[in-house]
């Protein structure tokens, strides 16, 4: 049976509310980006789906307790005799709200837009069966993600265990790296998304990650070799260069350049750290990613909507420098864990593919 939202749910507009950090006896405040603080009252009942009204409109959130929603988010409450809240949530995860957007600046939705949305509505027992299947798969997805996070945390903990005792020389990045510089943005029209022989891969901040993994498979971009060797010659990068974003938010993203290509290039939001003889590139990556090194550095960022760090701050980053033998032992440990991460990531991709295919089957 096909229904429209107007017949099977209620939409509550949000209101701005002064938030406090203390949750005791209070209700959470949610916007389209997630939890924003706590309030003394609530607007929406438990088991309500949040949809962004402005900005992030394709990121539904399920809230299982009473809460307050701000004016940039709608609260969608299902009429439970015909529509289960979790079924509504999964439908919203699959639905492309962007196609309802009529603006060219900040994406936005109206209440009238939402009320016209059509949904296939099977019997309640069928809805519950779909919820049960998808929920079980989501639990497996969450478990795999937790495994990956645990492996990353283990690498950081091992670094602190070995080198956080104050027994090693403390160096600045400028002492163990070649001249630290940043990338350049090519003229409009010189970046393409199709690879052709001779094109040079061009990295942006979204290709970096909080784990140091390079994310180049999604939305790869390229520039002409002439641009690479001409206007952007100063921002060439090579395999084993360490890259870090210096424009955010968010800050603190890294990668170690792979040998998939002999040469790469980067935009102006990324800084290059090129290891010299005293430090191994992968050790340099993990040293820069250490919270004790990174958090004070990010705290120096200037700007409100856009955070910026400068190259002088990059050059002054300080971290312990053990012997090459100690560095090599740590890198071997990290590479072994990276192999484990590959196995877990493969399992995660497989179960995510199953989840996506079922979502397509149920909500296409």
Conformation bin of residue 166: beta by default, left when phi > 0, alpha when psi is -120 to 50: left
Q: Report pLDDT for 359.
A: 97
Of 109-113, 207-211, 221-225, least confident by mean pLDDT is 109-113
Rounding to the nearest 10 degrees, give the CA dihedral for residues 40, 43, 74, 116: 180
8 A C-beta contact, residue 280 and residue 330: no
Q: Report pLDDT for 104.
A: 65
Cα–Cα distance between 70 and 44 in angstroms, integer? 11
Q: Report the share of the chain in percent with pLDDT over 70.
A: 100
Q: Report pLDDT for 116.
A: 92
Q: Report the share of the chain in percent with pLDDT over 90.
A: 79
For residue 279, pLDDT beyond 90 = yes
Residues composing the chain:
364
Of 18-32, 96-110, 131-145, 198-212, least confident by mean pLDDT is 96-110
Question: Which is nearest to 82 in space by CA: 166, 5, 193?
Answer: 5
Cα–Cα distance between 318 and 50 in angstroms, integer? 43
| CATH classification for the domain delimited by 123-165+322-364, as one of 1.10.287, 1.10.101, 1.10.10, 2.60.40 | 1.10.287
Q: How far, CA to CA in Å, does 72 sit from each of 9, 19, 30, 51, 52?
A: 19, 15, 9, 9, 6
Q: CATH 3.90.220.20 region(s) of the chain?
A: 2-121, 169-321
The residue-averaged pLDDT of 43-56 equals 90
Cα–Cα distance between 123 and 144 in angstroms, integer? 32
The residue-averaged pLDDT of 59-65 equals 94
Average pLDDT, the chain: 93
8 A C-beta contact, residue 113 and residue 4: no
For residue 209, pLDDT beyond 80 = yes
The residue-averaged pLDDT of 269-274 equals 97
Structure tokens at 128: 């519950």
Q: How many beta carbons lie within 10 A of that of residue 276, not counting itself?
A: 10
**Position 210 confidence tier, pLDDT thresholds 50, 70, 90:** very high
Q: Report pLDDT for 211.
A: 92
Q: 8-24: b or e for each residue (b if 16 or more CB lie within 10 Å)?
A: bbeebebeebebeeeee
For residue 181, pLDDT beyond 80 = yes
Q: How far, CA to CA in Å, does 188 sit from each of 103, 223, 227, 230?
A: 24, 11, 12, 15
Q: CATH 1.10.287 region(s) of the chain?
A: 123-165+322-364
**Position 179 confidence tier, pLDDT thresholds 50, 70, 90:** confident
Question: What's the CATH superfamily of 169-321?
Answer: DNA methylase specificity domains (3.90.220.20)
Enumerate long-range contacts of 97-106, CB under 8 Å, 24 or more apart.
97/51, 97/52, 97/57, 97/58, 98/57, 98/58, 100/57, 101/57, 106/54, 106/55
Task: Determine the Cα angle at 363 with ends 9 and 52, to 5°.
Answer: 50
> At 145, is the secondary structure helix, strand, or coil?
helix
For residue 303, pLDDT beyond 90 = no
Q: Domain 2-121 carries which CATH code? A: 3.90.220.20
For residue 290, pLDDT beyond 80 = yes
The residue-averaged pLDDT of 86-101 equals 92
Digit-coded pLDDT (tens) for 97-137 = 888 887 767 788 889 989 999 999 999 999 999 999 999 99
Cα–Cα distance between 251 and 242 in angstroms, integer? 15
Q: Report pLDDT for 352.
A: 97
Cα–Cα distance between 148 and 151 in angstroms, integer? 5
């Amino acid at each position: 049976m096909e229904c429209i939202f107007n017949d099977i749910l209620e939409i509550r507009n949000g209101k701005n509310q002064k938030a406090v950090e203390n949750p005791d006896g209070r209700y959470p405040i949610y916007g389209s980006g997630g939890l924003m603080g706590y309030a003394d009252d609530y607007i929406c009942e438990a088991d309500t789906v949040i949809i962004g009204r402005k900005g992030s409109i394709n990121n539904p959130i399920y809230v299982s307790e009473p809460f307050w929603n701000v004016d940039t988010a709608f609260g969608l409450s299902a009429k439970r005799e015909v529509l289960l809240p979790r079924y509504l949530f999964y439908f919203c995860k699959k639905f492309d709200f962007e196609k309802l957007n009529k603006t060219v600046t900040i994406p936005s939705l109206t209440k009238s837009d939402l009320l016209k949305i059509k949904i296939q509505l099977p019997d309640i027992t069928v809805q519950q069966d779909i919820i049960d299947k998808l929920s079980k798969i989501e639990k497996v997805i969450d478990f795999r993600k937790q495994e990956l996070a645990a492996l990353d945390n283990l690498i950081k903990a091992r670094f602190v265990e070995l080198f956080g005792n104050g027994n090693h020389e403390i160096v600045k990045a400028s002492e163990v790296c070649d001249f630290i510089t940043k990338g350049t943005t090519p003229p409009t029209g010189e970046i393409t998304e199709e690879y052709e022989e001779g094109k040079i891969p061009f990295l942006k901040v979204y290709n970096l990650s909080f784990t140091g993994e390079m994310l180049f498979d999604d939305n790869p971009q390229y520039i002409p070799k002439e641009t690479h060797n001409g206007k952007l010659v100063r921002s060439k990068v090579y395999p084993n260069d360490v890259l870090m974003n210096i424009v955010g938010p968010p800050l603190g993203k890294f990668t170690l350049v792979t040998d998939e290509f002999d040469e790469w290039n980067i935009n102006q939001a990324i800084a290059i750290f090129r290891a010299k003889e005293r430090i191994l590139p992968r050790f340099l990556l993990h040293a820069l990613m250490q919270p004790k090194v990174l958090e004070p550095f990010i705290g120096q960022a200037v700007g409100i909507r856009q955070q910026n760090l400068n190259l002088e701050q990059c050059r002054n980053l300080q971290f312990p420098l053990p012997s090459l033998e100690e560095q090599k032992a740590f890198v071997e440990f990290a590479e072994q864990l990276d192999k484990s991460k590959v196995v877990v990531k493969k399992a995660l991709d497989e179960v995510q593919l199953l989840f996506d295919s079922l979502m397509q089957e149920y909500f296409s």
